């Protein structure tokens, strides 16, 4: 099956800093999503991005499908950005494989 690796595994930032999270996957995929899991466990959809670039406020994402990676950019980080960020790729029809996650802590 597809392997999905994320880096870095852990990240600590000062409020206001920028960061880039990476998701590498081992085979071609049809769909890719980025999620933020808040401290209460809720997964929040950030981007549905099988290819190309999207932006939503301070967040943006880029997926280069031919090179099998996706990047999530967080600018001007805030303490509320803390949590775990997952990418998930679709294997087959609708079956999502989750990455290893990046645990982010933003300090005030």
For residues 14 and 64, give the distance between their C-alpha atoms in angstroms, rounded to a whole number. Answer: 29
- Cβ neighbours of residue 82 closer than 8 Å, sequence gap 6 or more: 39, 104, 105, 106
Binding site for other proteins (CB under 8 A): 31, 33, 35, 40-43, 45, 48, 86, 88, 94-101, 103
For residue 49, the number of C-alpha atoms closer than 13 Å in the C-beta half-sphere is: 23
Closest separation in Å from C-beta 23 to other proteins: 12
Closest separation in Å from C-beta 103 to other proteins: 8
Nearer to other proteins by Cβ, of 16 and 92: the residue is: 92
Closest separation in Å from C-beta 83 to other proteins: 12
């Amino acid at each position: 099956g597809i392997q999905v690796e994320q880096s870095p595994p852990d990240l600590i930032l000062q409020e206001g800093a920028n960061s880039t999270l990476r998701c590498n996957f081992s085979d071609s995929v049809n769909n890719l999503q980025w999620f933020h899991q808040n401290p209460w466990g809720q997964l929040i959809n950030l981007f549905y991005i099988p290819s190309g670039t999207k932006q939503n406020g301070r967040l943006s994402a880029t997926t280069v499908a031919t090179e099998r990676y996706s990047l999530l950019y967080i600018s001007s980080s805030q303490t509320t950005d803390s949590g775990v960020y997952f990418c998930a790729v679709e294997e087959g029809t609708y079956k999502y494989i989750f990455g290893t996650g990046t645990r982010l802590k933003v300090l005030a």
